[in-house]
Structures are given as structure tokens and as C-alpha cells.
Structure 1
């Protein structure tokens, strides 16, 4: 089965992580995979491993941009000749439908990773017109799509394609100038409005004692956030885009995510799989993931609750170890990569 993944970029985000994992593991399930994307370090890694990667310019939410992206994707379809196209998120679904319109009809399925609450009606209208089937990454996301008027989508929960760290805890900390005993919280998130780093920085100002916050990611808000963090000094480090997430997880003690909305973020699952407890807002599928432990959920836009949860997990070793053990059990039981790949394989083959 020839599977073409269409996604805007292949950098450090959760959807990008899923695409890289699926394309990398697809051969085990009889897939021949390719990716149409604007590129990124994950695209480079896939290409180096032999997966065809077709360049597509970013659509950038403009009519001209969408048409340029669709034209490039059409060339990818013509060259790769997929049996099925798997688009990741709404914009990619629109681009892929325009690319696949002429000639032989190919099934187009869309993996919906989530949008802001106000965008669900518009997303639903686009998905109804573009997609032969929609896959939601969590039951909570499927519920919101259904409430917005989409026929109940399939649910295949995100999972972890684990990669072992290259460097150890001491090496990573030494490279970033952090002593071995200093508590470290790690935030794996693009510096964009959705992720609400402003809430996190306000919470960090109320974290007790000496601890360091690593912000791994880049984005349009970086300059504003750096100015906001000046008063916190070396307690906050902006690491930029990183390709060494397993290493950072090894060196951190806790991870934190303060988003206003999510689908089912891979950053939470990666943290739990690495034995790192999570502090995260109760949005999207996060509450379901952490229902049996693995960390603490907090309300969105609540710096005080976020600070309290961080203080608990950073400075209470017993609480941290207990949450880490719970998280590992949850990932091993419910978020296995083989289970995800089998579910997608059955769905894609049934759509052909």
C-alpha cells in the first residue's frame, strides 16, 4: 500500500512527530511511504533513511499560497502514485483535495490534531468537503467535531515512537550549564499563542527555591517572551528548536504544558514514556491521558494552579517518582505504537 502523508512542515511539533514515526515504521506493515511537506529536520531524517520527501511550499492561509501548495502536492501525487493520501490537519486536507481532484480518485483521509475552540465550525465545514474520512487523535477531539456538525469520526489515539537518548543526564546538563542537583522543568512547545507561555512564565515566578525552566521551541512570540522573562534571569533558558528531545527529557525532572487547547499532544506522551511527570492544562485529550496518574492537570490560564503543581512535582521526590511510575504504566498499556499502526493500517486499507 502506497501512502502519501501531506503535512505543512516536518519540524518538532506533535503532528510532525507522528508523521515521522508512521512513515518510519510503515514498512513493517506493508506500506511504501512518502511525505509532501515544506521540510524540516524530521523531513531531512526521513529522506536520509530512504523515504521520498516531496517539497511543498507553505500555504500560509492565503488563496495564492494554498494554490501553490496544491500544485506542488499534485506533482508529488503524480510522481509517487499513492493508493491513499493521509493529510494531517485541516489546511493540509484542503491542499491535498485540490491536488487530488483531477484524474483517478484516491481516498483522502484527514488526521485531525485539533484547533482552537472557535475554529471548530470552520474546520468541520472544510473537512466535510475535502475528506473521505476523518481520524481524531483523542475522544475529546472527536466529541468536539461531532458537536460542530461532523459525522462521528474514527478515533485513533496518538502514541509514542520512542527514541533512546544519545547523551546522558549529566552531559546534557553540563552542556546547558545546569548543576546536577538543580530541579529542571522542560516545556516542549512552539512559541505561539496557543501554548500560552505567558501563563507559564507568570507561574514560574511563583515557583519556590532555585529551579530552571527550559523552553524548547521557537516561534513568533520569542522576542516578546524573552523580554517578559528578563526579570527571571537565568531561571529561564530559551533553547530554540531542538532535535534532541530524548536527551532533554533525560536531563529534566518534570515537563510542563500550559496550552489553551490541544488534541492529544505528543509532548505529554513522550514525557510519560521517558519517566518524566507532567504538569499540563486540562484541555483536549490531556485529562484522559493523566486520569490514572502520570502528572497533574491544571485549569487553563491559571498561573497560581500551575505554580502549585510545579512546586509539588519539582520538590517532592516521592510525588515525582509515583507520578513517573504511573505515567510509564499508562503509556505501556494504552499508547503502544503497534496498536496505532495496526489501527491506521486497517482503516487505510479499508478506504482503498
Structure 2
């Protein structure tokens, strides 16, 4: 069995980590990664020993790559195409029709929200993305809630497999990164691309409500970086834009709490990475976070878009025994969200689909 994973290649967030950690669990002869551009994803994949092929585009609208991809699929005799992200999903429509390959996807975000604030182009691409998402042979949902989201789009529940994200949990936390914040200050780490769906503005609003403000580290880059810098000007002593970082584990290890403020997620890999560093979580009620966080014991779950609730959760965290909560979270996460279960469940679906 041979599986071709297709992704744009420009990802720097959870989907990048998910793809690499998943492919690492398979034999090198079983999986190949195809990308449309060089970047951190391709670099890390090659370093991990994953066969990675570049199908470079002159622009994201360059469709000449489709014929080359179709020829590659047929020449290499792949059994399954596994797409990740809107662009790969759109291209999958052509590839399936041209080659007849079985097609599965992992939906890493709500397709209805991928192109929010995209204007007319965003509206067009959302419609195309929603069309593509209905054409596949099988789907991986990284939480039961996300499975129900797919079913609500008219997709048969029989075609959707819940497969929780997983990571390799370590016996000891990483070494703490050196942070440029005053000693003994409360530190919150937020790993999220700078995109409207991630809720950074709600974080800023919540901080403005706090008399005692923590230091918030924003790890990631994205299309609204300049806009967010401008909106956080009055908070610049407490909000730190760190950009894309490869030492996320070390930053988590140096922090007191991890934060997710998204309006929509599936099952955030960043929260598992925080759990591995033994720090509790503050998260909006999205995706499968309820299966990871026990409110009051391992973290806080708040409504989406609610700055008042977020401010209250931050106050609670600053008064709590976060070390004890972090240890409880690590114990729960390491027992339930391993790479072994991710690999086993994914391969079972591959075998079933390939045998049809």
C-alpha cells in the first residue's frame, strides 16, 4: 500500500506538525509527501526521513502542477491520496477524476471559515472548498464534535472516522527557554497563526480588563500580523510577538499556562504539546478540547469570543496551583492521546479504503 500526502507546504502551525508526526509512524516505503512550495514543513519532513517531493507553482493559481501530479500518481502507482488543507483539497477534485485514486482527507479547520475576511475571492474559494469537501471517499475527524460538523454538511457518518491527534510524550519536560520578561511574572503562551479565526483580539480585550496583567507570548506568524501589532500597541509591555519558532516546547516549559482563543478548531495539537510540558490550559470551547481539559482540574474552558470569560479564567489561573494542574493534565493526555493510537487508527482506514 502506498499513500501520497498532499499539502501546500507553507504551513507553520498544527497541520504541519500533524502531518510530519503522522508520516513518521509509517514505513518510508508506505508514504510520500508532496508539497507546492519549500518551507519549514518540507525541511522538517526530509530531516525526519520522509520522502518529500516538490511540485513548485509559479503562484497558488498555477494549475499546470495538476498534470505533473497526476502523472506522478500513475507512475508511482499510489493507492490513496490523502489531502490536507483547502488548496490540496481543491486540487484533489482533478486528481481523483484523472487517476481514479481513492481520496481521503484530514480536515484541520472549519472549511466554512478558512477564507474569512478574504473579500470576494474569499467567498469564491469558500464555495469551492465546500464543494471539494463533499467529493472525498473518507474523512478523518480529530474529535467527535468535528465528526458531527462534517455530518451536518451532508457527509455520511459511515465515511467519517474519529482519530484523535497524538504526539510523542516525554518523561521529562523540555528545558525552559530564556524569556525576555521580568522574573517571577506570570507567563501565558499562545501558539497560533496570526489569523482572524484564532481570536487574538479577544485576548487583547481580556487583558485590558485585568488590573494585574500577565505576559502573553504570541508564537506564530500569519496574514494579519501588522493589524494585530497595531491593535496591541497599548499592551506592548505585556504582549510579545515572537513570530515563528522552532523551540515551542522550550517556550511552553518556561510558561505558566497555555492559551487557545480560537473561534474554531478540530483538536489542537498545540494543546497536547503544552500538556507534555506540564502546564495547564485555557481554551475556548472548540473541537475536542472537552476531551482533553477537565475544568478546574487541568485547565479552563470558556465560550468563544467572550473576553470577560477569558479575563476571569486568566485571573483564576494566576491564583491557582498551576504546577499541580499541569501534572494532572500530563497524566491524562499521555494516557489517551499517543502517536500509537493515531497511527493504528489511520492505517486501519487506509487498508479498508485501498481494498475497495
TM-score class, shorter: 0.7 to 0.9
Could you tell me whether the CA contact under 8 Å between 2:188 and 2:259 is conserved in 1? yes
Residues 1:36 and 2:34 are matched in the alignment: yes
**In structure 2, do the counterparts of structure 1 residues 192 and 141 end up closer, same or farther at CA, with 3 Å as the change threshold?**
same
Aligned equivalent of 2:307, options 280, 291, 303: 303
**Residue 187 of structure 2: aligned partner:** 184
**In structure 2, do the counterparts of structure 1 residues 123 and 216 end up closer, same or farther at CA, with 3 Å as the change threshold?**
same
RMSD of Structure 2 on Structure 1 (CA): 2.7
**In structure 2, do the counterparts of structure 1 residues 79 and 308 end up closer, same or farther at CA, with 3 Å as the change threshold?**
farther
**Residue 132 of structure 1: aligned partner:** 137
**Residue 112 of structure 1: aligned partner:** 107
The residue matched to 1:102 in structure 2 has which SS?
helix
Could you tell me whether the CA contact under 8 Å between 1:70 and 1:98 is conserved in 2? yes
CA distance in 2, matches of 1:165, 1:45: 23
Residues 1:285 and 2:288 are matched in the alignment: yes
**Residue 8 of structure 1: aligned partner:** 8
Residue-by-residue CA offset, 1:30-80 (whole Å, 9 max, x unaligned): 7532111233213102213332212245798x7x44x34534533542564
Greater displacement, 326-335 / 80-89: 80-89
Could you tell me whether the CA contact under 8 Å between 1:34 and 1:80 is conserved in 2? no
Residue-by-residue CA offset, 1:181-218 (whole Å, 9 max, x unaligned): 22110110000110011111111223343531110011
Residues 1:155 and 2:191 are matched in the alignment: no
Deviation at 1:156, TM superposition (A): 0.8
Residue-by-residue CA offset, 1:241-291 (whole Å, 9 max, x unaligned): 112111111111111111111111111121122211111111222223224
**Structure 1 unaligned regions, length at least 5:** none
CA distance in 2, matches of 1:167, 1:338: 21
**Residue 333 of structure 1: aligned partner:** 335
Residues 1:252 and 2:251 are matched in the alignment: no
Aligned equivalent of 2:149, options 131, 135, 144: 144
CA distance in 2, matches of 1:88, 1:116: 11
CA distance in 1, matches of 2:243, 2:161: 35
Length-normalised TM-score, structure 1? 0.87
The residue matched to 2:236 in structure 1 has which SS?
helix
Length-normalised TM-score, structure 2? 0.86
Residues 1:206 and 2:209 are matched in the alignment: yes
CA distance in 2, matches of 1:294, 1:122: 40
Greater displacement, 145-154 / 110-119: 110-119
Structure in which a larger fraction of residues adopt helix:
1
CA distance in 1, matches of 2:247, 2:316: 27
Could you tell me whether the CA contact under 8 Å between 1:36 and 1:76 is conserved in 2? no
CA distance in 1, matches of 2:127, 2:110: 10
CA distance in 1, matches of 2:234, 2:204: 10
Aligned equivalent of 1:274, options 273, 277, 282: 277
**Residue 235 of structure 1: aligned partner:** 238
Could you tell me whether the CA contact under 8 Å between 2:141 and 2:161 is conserved in 1? yes
**In structure 2, do the counterparts of structure 1 residues 333 and 208 end up closer, same or farther at CA, with 3 Å as the change threshold?**
farther
Deviation at 1:89, TM superposition (A): 3.5
Could you tell me whether the CA contact under 8 Å between 1:109 and 1:132 is conserved in 2? yes
**Residue 92 of structure 2: aligned partner:** 96
Residue-by-residue CA offset, 1:3-46 (whole Å, 9 max, x unaligned): 2111122532112111000112212xx75321112332131022
